[in-house]
Structure formats: structure tokens, C-alpha cells
Structure 1
Amino acid sequence: MPITEVLKDPEALTMTVIADFSATRERLWEAYTDPRQIEKFWGPVEWPATFIRHDVYPGGRSHYTMTGPDGEQSSGFWEFLHVDEGHSFEVRDGFADAEGHENTDMPSMRMTFQFEETEAGSRLVTTTHFGSADQLEQLLGMGMEEGMTSAMSQIDEVLADLSSFAAGRGTEAQILSDTQVRISRVIRGSVEDVWRAHHEPELLKRWLLGPDGWSMTVAVAGTTVGAKHRSEWVPNEGTEGEAFGFEGEVLEIHPPLRAVTTESMIGMPGEPNINELTLTPVEGATLLTLVITYPNAEVRDMILATGMTDGMETSYARLESEVLV
């Protein structure tokens, strides 16, 4: 059990949890900033979490849902107030509905996460600041301390699994719900360079090609809210297939960390997909996370069956070898 001390201060309205690890501070930070990893331990053992969104930057937001042994669900959110990369972050933590909207009938609290180096590895100091004595009593009465203790008992196993964050692991697709899929890839390059590669037309034409044998003829990247984006591809001579493309609109954009867009295949009727791109700096690389929301499960499964993940891996590998060099 990594927790070494729990300090409750009724006068200061705080609870501080101190935990020590044999892993490095950098490795511990990665476990908390990668949605693939934090969802393995954020939540009691019997209530595993799924992170639908995890934007670790000031003004960013996280949305997670924990599922109990009988299928019951409880959702929460983090609103990031401050981030000191590799060392600390501060959030407003609260309850949410299934869509991630705050449940204002329940209290929220401020939490600070301090990552420190020690002779044996690293230490995490988590301090929860409650709004009142009644709030402190209410949340502790709901089992907050026991839940944190159970959750943190799982971190050592995640930290030991070094391959879970290996840069050479390739593109992963994880089904989050009936309509959502999360694509994850660690890309060897800075956040700024990866962002430019996604938003500068001439760079897009060099790497976003999928399997070999295709050329991108149109690359219009929207860079402001309300702007349109459009991409078109044609097969090279000797390659079978027909020209195709996608178009959509920018719904939200926070360079160089997050962009939300709609996406539809050109000429195809129906409700568009929603793409949420998040770039998170990690040591020597960038964690790319793309959450795609489809109109329904049938569309989700149809697109996954096309080999989308393999095509994206080919493109990301080309991005690393031909653009980010």
C-alpha cells in the first residue's frame, strides 16, 4: 500500500493523503496525465473508471464515469485550475451527470496534487480543500477516504507496467461506450510541432495519407471556431480505390492543446461524428488522444471494421519519420 499518512485538519478544512512510490516522479506524473493509465486506478477497486475526457492544462477539463459491480454508475469532473508540468496540478473536483455536466446539487472541492522526488523514488501529496465543515463531514461520510485508499492501492501495478506508456507501442483504439472510441498514440515530437502538423495544409499533405499509394489533394484546416475544414484523397496510379474526403466545422479550439470538430464524409448524408483532439506533453514526446463520438454503435463498428486504426498508425509513423525529424 503506497499511502503512508492521512492527515485530516477540521480547522483548515483539509484532508491530506501522502503516498510514496519506487517509481520516478516523471513516471508517476505520466500515470496521472494519460487517460489510459489513470482510469486503471482512479476509483475504488470495485468501481473502475473510464475517462471520456482528460485535458491536463489550465482551463482544461476531465470527465470520468465509475461503474459499480452491479452496473450502477457515478460520474465526476475535474476543472484544471493550475498545471506545473511534471510537478503539480490543481483542480476543482465535483460530481457530474453522464454527459460530464456538473451536478450542482452536490458539493465540489479543490484538490492539489504535488509530485515530489525522494531518495527511494517519488512522493505524491494530495490535499483536498473542503468548502465548509458540513461539506467535509458529508464527503467523508460518503466514504471519500476509503475510496481514495482503495484507488491508490492499484497504482503500483500501473507504475510497474512500463509498457503501458511505451512510445513504440503504436496506435491504440479503445471502445469507451456505445458511441465513443478513444484513439491514443505517443508521438516523438513536441506538442507545438504535432499541433502544426495537424493544422498546416502543406504538412498535412505529407503525412495524413493512410496506407501507401494515396495522395491528399485538398487540405483545408480550420483554425478558428466556426471555420470549415476539408480533406480529400485520391489513389495514386496503380492503387485501387476511389477518391474520397471529409469535411466539417471547428466547434472548439485551444492551440496547441485541444480542438473539437465535426466530421462527415463528403457526399454522405447523416449526423456527423464529433472529434475531440487533445495533445499532452510527456517526457520527450506528445501523447495524442482522439475521442470520436459516432451517431450510434452501428456506425462506430462499421468504421472500426474498415481498418481505421491500422491506417492511422501508418499515418502517425509517417508523421514521425518524415515530418517530425
Structure 2
Amino acid sequence: MPVTDITTDVENLTMTVVADASASVDRLWKAFTDPAQLSRFWGPPGWPATFTSFDLRPGGRVDYHMTGPHGERAGGMWEVLNVDDGRSFEVLDSFADADADADGDKIDSLPTTRMVFTFETTDAGSRLTTTSYFASAEALEQVVAMGAVEGTRMAMDQLDAVLMSLREYAQGTGTRTEILDDQHVRITRLIEGPHDLVWRAHHEPELLKTWLLGPDGWQMIECEVGDTYRYVWQQGDDEASRFGFEGETVLSEPTWRAVTTEKMIGMPGPSTLNDLQLYEEDGATLLTLVIEYPDAETRDMILATGMTEGMEASYARLEEAVVAAS
């Protein structure tokens, strides 16, 4: 769902986000009022949202937290003011304590904003306009400085995968690589088969060795998994061709999310951070991998190696293995 405009207005103390979708207004409304759907895009890439309560009625409350790639949490809450079914809803949006599993308390030192979500039909489908009203210019500047503009844009860019079915969104497109910013790249691939099998294929050595091979002619000769991992490949019988990666598990939430570091064995320099997330719908799994690089130069160097093509060769084998096991 492309964001067509984000405007901050210091004079009127507002931030307005306009986004357009090819889906009907009813479908767009459902995406924002069903927590199972909203959780798939409310947090930006690498910070998926979890809704712990969802009472979208006047006087009701919505509680959620977003979990970062290192397990850190950022909490939020809505106090629902008004709901005009199918057309708009209005909430007080506050930062909240996310340390505990229970609904968090409001953080009074951070701004509370009044947010109005308005949904309307357009010739091309539908439009969402979200207007946030701030109590002061300082509050507006504080939220913008925290990355609200770019975070909102990246979060909303995930909505197309929700408004369409997974097969409609991704079937037949192969492995897709999107540059999100200087440090982050998102890889997506639809895998026919259930997400629990895709998860197992990423964590069981006997399965990993069948698909994580890159171009034809390579074999995985070492495969160690656990809190740390080590993969080594070789081309045919050529021992001189050997190379590998190693890293550690930073976050594991079976069977849908795993965050790991990755570094080429024997090479100096920082690791990348790989955030794997799996979402299943109607027997198909959308695999999303957000990779964090140390800088844009490293990102471009690795992309230029033909990474996408090598991943597609591996993911095609992964799909074959999952379909065979389904």
C-alpha cells in the first residue's frame, strides 16, 4: 500500500499520513480493525506487533507491543474515543511499558496523541488518512525525532501482503529483494506448504543439507545448529572452494520468528543480522527475511554477488522439500 504523503504541520500540531490501496474500503477497514491482520503491518520491518487486548469500541482499550530483533520491546496503547463503523475511528495513542506480559502502564514522560483514522472509497479502490494531533510543538518534534515518519512509511508498505491473499501477492514472483534503507534489505519468497515444515527445514541439519546449497554443484559438508550455528559448503570435490558462515541465535520464537547473526568464517568485520519471519495462509507460507548490514557499502557489495539468484535456487529446493513432506 503506497504511502502517497506524510505531512507534519507545526503550526497546527499535526502529522497526516495518506495512503492508497487497490482494495475496497471494506477490506481496508477490516485490515485495521482485526488484530490478527493489523499485527502483520502495524510495526515496521524487524519490529512486528503483538496485540494483547483489542476492544475497539468507544471507551474500550487496545494494548500492543512491538518486539525488536534483539528481543527488546516497545509498548503502546489506544484509548478508544469514537468509532464510525466502516468509515473512521478515533483513539488516544500513548507509549506504554512493555516489560511485563500484562497490559502496560502509560509512560507519562512520552507524548500522547489523538489519532483519527479515516477510510474512504476512491476510483482506484480506497484511501486511508491518519491524522495525529499533538499537544505541543515539542511533542510533535519528539515523535518525529524518534523516527515516526520513516517507521510509518515502512510499516504501511507491508499492507499489500495483508490486503491480498498470499498467493495473489507473491505466487510466481520467486525471490524478491527490496532495499528498505541504507542498512536493511527485505527478502520475500512464497513457499507452498505449512510454516511448521518451513521452520523445521531451517533448523534440522538433515533438512538443511537438502536445500541450502545455492547454485547447482555445491554441497553442504558441515551443518551445526543450535544457539550457535556453522555452515560450510564445497563445490564438488574441490576442497579449495570451501567457504562457510557462522553465527548465533539472538531471538527464537518457534515456529514463526528467528533472528541470527551471520559472518563469513575467517573474515574480519561486523556480522549481519538476519530476521526470519514466517506467515501461513491457506497452506502457503510467506517467508520474509530482513537483513541488517553495517552500512550501505557492505549491503551493495553483497547484493552484487548475485545473492538473490543464489537464494532463489535454494528456496526452490526448499519448496520441493516442503511439498514432498506435506
Question: If the length of structure 2 is used for normalisation, what is the TM-score?
Answer: 0.59
How far the C-alpha of 1:261 sits from its partner, in A, is 0.9
CA distance in 1, matches of 2:322, 2:253: 22
Give 1:145's aligned amino acid: V
Q: State the match for 2:51 in structure 1.
A: 80
Contact 2:65–2:73 (8 Å) recurs in 1: no
SS at match of 2:44: strand
CA distance in 1, matches of 2:249, 2:64: 27
Q: State the match for 1:274 in structure 2.
A: 273
SS at match of 2:317: helix
Give 1:310's aligned amino acid: E
How far the C-alpha of 1:307 sits from its partner, in A, is 0.7
Contact 1:193–1:324 (8 Å) recurs in 2: no
In the alignment of these two chains, the number of paired residues is 238
Q: State the match for 1:297 in structure 2.
A: 296
Contact 1:111–1:126 (8 Å) recurs in 2: no
Contact 1:92–1:111 (8 Å) recurs in 2: no
CA distance in 2, matches of 1:254, 1:160: 26
SS at match of 1:324: helix
Q: State the match for 1:110 in structure 2.
A: 78
Q: State the match for 2:233 in structure 1.
A: 233
Identify if the C-alpha distance between structure 1 residues 297 and 186 changes in structure 2 by more than 3 Å, giving closer, same or farther.
Answer: same
Counterpart check, 1:21 vs 2:20: no
Contact 1:182–1:292 (8 Å) recurs in 2: yes
Aligned pair partner of 1:152 in 105, 117, 128: 128
How far the C-alpha of 1:289 sits from its partner, in A, is 0.9
Q: State the match for 1:9 in structure 2.
A: none
Q: Where in structure 2 are the equivalents of 1:161-310 lying within 5 Å?
A: 165-222=169-226, 227-237=227-237, 242-310=241-309
Give 1:283's aligned amino acid: D
How far the C-alpha of 1:270 sits from its partner, in A, is 0.9
How far the C-alpha of 1:166 sits from its partner, in A, is 2.9
Q: State the match for 1:52 in structure 2.
A: 45
Aligned pair partner of 2:64 in 66, 86, 92: 92
SS at match of 1:212: coil
CA distance in 2, matches of 1:257, 1:186: 14
Percent identity over paired residues: 44
SS at match of 1:312: helix
Identify if the C-alpha distance between structure 1 residues 125 and 211 changes in structure 2 by more than 3 Å, giving closer, same or farther.
Answer: farther
Give 2:304's aligned amino acid: A
CA distance in 2, matches of 1:172, 1:243: 27
How far the C-alpha of 1:211 sits from its partner, in A, is 0.8
CA distance in 2, matches of 1:34, 1:234: 41
SS at match of 2:255: coil
SS at match of 2:250: strand
What do you get for the CA RMSD once the two structures are aligned?
4.4
How far the C-alpha of 1:51 sits from its partner, in A, is 2.6
CA distance in 1, matches of 2:175, 2:280: 17
